[in-house]
Amino acid sequence: MKTLRVARFSVRYRPRALAVCAAAVLVALGTGVLALGRGDYPIAPGEVVRTLFGGGSAAEDFVVNQLRLPRVATALLVGAALALAGALFQTLVRNPLGSPDILGFTQGAATGALLVVVAGGSSAALAGGAVAGGLATGVLIYALAWRGGVQGARLVLVGIGTAAILTGVNGYLLTRTQLMDAARAVLWLTGSLDGRGWDQARPLALALAVLVPLVLLVCGPALRALELGDDAASGLGVRPERLRVALLGAAVLLASLAAAAAGPVNFLALTAPQLARRITRAPGPNLAASMCTGAALLVTADFAAQHLFGERQLPVGVVTGVLGGGYLVWLLATQRRAGRL
Amino acid sequence: MSTTGSLPIPGAAPARRGSPRALGLAAGLLVLLAVLVLSLGLGAKQLGPAEVWHGLLDPDAPGYTVVHRMRLPRTLLGLLAGAALGLAGGVMQALTRNPLADPGLLGINAGASAAVATAVALLGVSSFTGYVWWALAGAALVSVLVYAVGGGRGATPARLALAGAALNATLYSYVSAVMLLDTASLDRMRFWTVGSLAGARTSTVLGILPFVAVGALLALGLARPLNALALGDDAARALGARPAAVRAAAIVAVTLLCGAATAACGPIVFVGLMVPHLVRALTGPDLRWLLPYCAVLAPVLLLGADVLGRVLGRPGELQVGIVTAVLGGPFFLYFARRGKARA
């Protein structure tokens, strides 16, 4: 932990965490540039960067800025939002497996979206349904887990129970659709960035612009205090329950908006914070590092999903699902050996 | 009985409590019989108990075709699958010493589903006899994995449930990926993954019968050694049980029961959680009573849910997996809120 002082102001930081953030941002942007250059109309990375800053030809400007940039931007934003939501959940629940896709929020977003599909709504309505479903589930889970305060283990159990009910409901809704709609719904449920435009990226960018400073700068220190336990945190002047409500609300909002933009991309919220924590080797929630890692992970996974399988383009959710599965098995094995699971 | 107030004899108490438990089991069988009649009688064409009876026995009776062609296989499948899931839940809860263990919640059904999805998409398997071996293999793999994770002493209910939920999420994301790559499998799988008894055939019933029978016998035979294991490994050894062998046999039993039930009906959650829980309130923790009760009352729940789905979903029907999820979910939530399962 080092301190940077400028006149009366001081910022404490960890050099390693800072380096990790910088590296993750570099990876994210580098892969982003590669993704912008590849496709039916290949463009060299140097040209891509020039085009981004307004220098390329009209054709290059169209391909890079109109066709490919929205998808890459959405990947970066969704990755950052899911990772931040995951880091908040894992800290509040005190378990490396406590992420929104395990605890029912994602399933709730899916229920909202599926209801729209069954009703024959448009893609924009589908996104709205996802946000509404995710938020409603968040409120429901919080209310059900409330017994004079919300405790991590109870939230986990209530979340898992809710997830199981909603999975049943979602399966039912899937049987109520036409086969074509069902295919569209399953594609959405897997998580895909195909054909994403600014319409999907914009609300998420706005939410991140508002929530990230609030979460990182206002709640971050208090969250670190909360990791010491409710009593210690109260002693440090933090009101645990209010902080939890605020942060859970922010996390649910981020996860729902991310789901609205790209569908519930599995496991990103679970893995990114854990990966960040391991690379930074720093205790605590690692919020900023998680966000950078999440953005880098998702944009890389989407690049792989588009180009690794030849002609066949997979939805990015399949790639994160498989990676997440491998990570999960490893996590279960090591955590168990360490006696922590 | 003298009025001098004889001292209670420790060894006599269980024997005296035994007869109400036997009576309870008999009552449970009667309830099961009633649900069986309901399941045979209710549907698009309603049949009274007498008509069901004639339909079963008399080839010339008006209800004969309906009963034999459609409702009998469906009802027998519910009976077998319900007993299988109830027994599997009871054994798992004893094995993991975890009241939240359920083959659905811990991912075993999902393992079977993932294996079936692979078979459907890659090999074009479409018959039940094709499903069942795959389902068993998937169930076996996940059983071993879950046991490796959840068998330890440090595993709290919440953490085991989390591990299971994460495993579930992985496996179902794989299943949906398979469905996505192949529309034909999507059409078949989207009904199967919900969990349903509809469309049961006699061949399916006969197909799972041997697996369920062997699994059930194994489970019931394990009641006594599992009881011993509840006292701890050392005590169990002193009582003549071999802990490692008992655990391995229990995993085999759970695999056979869950794999067969999932292959035939698709993944069904919460039956294996709810029934042993409710039963424990009636029988206490002794598995020699708990498991037979589970075998009788779990089919009551599953068939009851199936009948309810047929009544509620008119003119179509609600798949039984959805009804059990919606019935069992609140039960689980209530239980979680009560804080009995605190981590």
Chain A interface test: which of B142, B162, B308 (most A C-beta within 10 Å): B162
What's the token pair of residue A12?
């404490």
Half-sphere exposure in the Cβ direction for A305 (13 Å, CA): 26
- For residue B150, is pLDDT > 70? no
For chain A, what percentages of helix, strand and coil (3-state, to nearest 5) are there?
75, 5, 25
Chain A nearest C-alpha distance from B306 (Å): 14
Interchain contact, A158 vs B341, CB within 8 Å = no
Give the pLDDT mean for B195-216.
Answer: 87
Q: Determine the Cα angle at B290 with ends B305 and B81, to 5°.
A: 35
Q: Which residues pair with A2 in a beta bridge?
A: A13
- For residue B157, is pLDDT > 80? no
- Whole-number pLDDT of residue A338: 58
- Coil, strand or helix: which one is B267? coil
What's the token pair of residue B124?
């074009």
What is the rounded average pLDDT for all residues in chain A? 84
Residue in A closest to B171 by C-alpha: A325
Give the pLDDT mean for A56-77.
Answer: 88
Interchain contact, B173 vs A314, CB within 8 Å = no
B291 in contact with chain A, both atoms CB, cutoff 8 A: no
- ipTM of this model? 0.72
What's the token pair of residue A127?
């996104």
Chain A nearest C-alpha distance from B144 (Å): 12
A312/B252: higher pLDDT: B252
Residues of A in contact with B156 (CB under 8 A): 153
Chain A nearest C-alpha distance from B208 (Å): 24
DSSP code of residue A38: -
- Coil, strand or helix: which one is B285? coil
Chain A interface test: which of B173, B175, B322, B334 (most A C-beta within 10 Å): B173
- For residue B207, is pLDDT > 90? no
- Whole-number pLDDT of residue B306: 92
Residue in B closest to A99 by C-alpha: B166
How large a percentage of chain B has pLDDT more than 90? 22
Residue in A closest to B332 by C-alpha: A161
| pLDDT tens string B282-334 | 888 899 999 999 999 999 999 999 999 888 877 778 888 889 988 888 888 88
Burial grade of B66 (CB within 10 A; 0-12, 13-18, 19 or more): buried
Chain A / chain B CB contacts < 8 angstroms: 168
Plot region of A120 (φ>0 → left; ψ -120 to 50 → alpha; else → beta): left
Residues of A in contact with B141 (CB under 8 A): none
DSSP code of residue B301: H
Residues of B in contact with A189 (CB under 8 A): 176
| pLDDT tens string B247-269 | 889 889 998 999 899 888 888 88
Residues of B in contact with A95 (CB under 8 A): 158-159, 162
Nearest to B214 by CA among B26, B46, B88: B88
